[in-house]
Amino acid sequence: MVSNNTSTSQPAPNWVSPPGHTIVSILEERELTVEDFAREIGRTAAAAQKIVDGVQAIDVDLAQRLADTLGASPSFWIAREHDYRGSIAAPEGLKISNLQDFVSRLPMRDMQRFGWVATARSNEEKIAETLAFFGVSSLAQWQGRYEGAFETAAYRKSAAHSSCPAATTAWLRQGEIETADDPVAVWSSKILSDQLPKLRRLTWQKRPLVFLPKLKALLAEAGVKIAVVRAPKGCSASGAVRVLEGGVPHIQMSFRYLSDDHFWFTLFHEIGHLLLHYSSMPILELNESQINSIENEANEFASSTIVPLEHREEMLNLGGSRFPIVDFAKKIGIAPGLVVGQLQHLGIIRYNQMQHLKRRFRWSD
């Protein structure tokens, strides 16, 4: 598979004041009190005061309420929050202490080989390339926009590790870059749900060069962007789902195991998060991530999308023979490799059985 190698970066904002300062300015301009603001966003006066004071962090739900009430986009308020939190982080609290340390933790060799950044010789050039790649002007901004964002999500929902390695943030950033100019419709959970039968049929397509553009188009109709980005060394993520500029949901896949059962299960898992847990974004999937209730719900959603519940009992009685599995897959309209993956996961067949029914992929440099 070949991914885009565009290396343009986004302009980096230079905000260091609390988002509450912006809120107060807008309230004063409109001659509104904190009590008025509280009513507008559906919160108590005490809660509204905490938002203004910067005590209450801005999450996806609050960002949408601020956008509806005060203007700008939800992503404006989220970025405002992340940049501020990053700017006030105490140096001793940062996992990465300086820019040189930051660059040393990045998989620069892979980033250069994949065409994400230009080859740089001096440390100064590497730092300049890194900051431009991430679209930030300081370590604190990177911390607030990337590492801090996922630490917050992990703390609230236990859906990610307690830290976000630098290599993983590079992978996430490349996904943003590759989809920056992708046109999508307005986000619609209903349309996304309606697209599931078409997505299931796509699993029969053998070649990523054929099914990935169709997958991108189907998700775009529901307002969702998707990036398939090769994971660099040090990044163990198989999938991630976030909300980007303008409230646009963004799914990112690494094609980590290069097999159809893993790819499609991960995709349906991320779609499950969007349909079930949109307000909990971002959610980062790591190989050893701690399983919790929302992960179980997304896993069950993916499993039941692959094999609908009304066919589950029949699947459990298939055994480990090729033809019953293939016939069953044709009957329910899903690729045989995905059925094999489900049977292996449930322990009905061993992991070395029926592997030939799975489709394997490879990256082409």
Coil vs helix vs strand at 185: coil
Residue 221 or residue 162, greater confidence: 221
Closest CA to 212 of 241, 253, 250: 253
- Rounded to 5 degrees, φ, ψ at 298 are -70, -40
**Res 158 pLDDT > 70:** no
Residue 53 or residue 157, greater confidence: 53
Residue found by looking up tokens 């100064």 in the block: 124
Q: What was the pLDDT predicted at 18?
A: 74
Residue 347: HSE in the Cβ half-sphere, 13 Å Cα cutoff:
0
- Rounded to 5 degrees, φ, ψ at 71 are 105, -175
**Res 6 pLDDT > 90:** no
Mean pLDDT of 149-158: 39
Closest CA to 361 of 214, 212, 218: 212
Q: What was the pLDDT predicted at 162?
A: 36
Q: CB neighbours (10 Å) of residue 249?
A: 24
Residue 243, beta-bridge partner list? 249
Whether the CB-CB separation of 20 and 49 falls below 8 Å is answered with no
Coil vs helix vs strand at 248: strand
Rounded to whole angstroms, what are the CA distances from 168 to 30, 87, 105, 253? 42, 21, 11, 12
For 195-239, the DSSP string reads: THHHHHHHTT---HHHHHHHHHHHHHHTT-EEEE-PPPTT--EEE
**Domains within the chain, CATH numbers bracketed:** 19-88 (1.10.260.40), 93-306 (no CATH)
CA angle, residues 351, 273, 44, in degrees to nearest 5:
150
Whether the CB-CB separation of 248 and 184 falls below 8 Å is answered with yes
What contacts 221, CB < 8 A, 6 or more positions away?
185, 191, 195
**Sheet of 283-286, strand order:** 225-228, 248-253, 237-244, 283-286
- Sorting pLDDT into bands at 50, 70 and 90, what band is 362? confident
**Res 155 pLDDT > 90:** no
Q: CB neighbours (10 Å) of residue 247?
A: 19
Q: What was the pLDDT predicted at 110?
A: 93
Residues 71-88 as b/e (b if ≥16 CB within 10 A, e otherwise) read eebbbbbbbbbbbbbbbe
What contacts 258, CB < 8 A, 6 or more positions away?
360, 361, 362, 363
Taking only the tens place, the pLDDT of each residue in 42-72 is: 888 778 888 887 777 787 788 888 989 998 8
H or E element, residue 42: none
Taking only the tens place, the pLDDT of each residue in 72-123 is: 888 788 777 777 765 554 433 335 668 888 888 899 999 999 999 998 878 8
Alpha-carbon span 231 to 229, nearest angstrom? 6
Rounded to whole angstroms, what are the CA distances from 302 to 56, 145, 208, 238? 34, 29, 20, 15
Taking only the tens place, the pLDDT of each residue in 247-280 is: 789 999 988 778 899 999 999 999 999 999 887 6
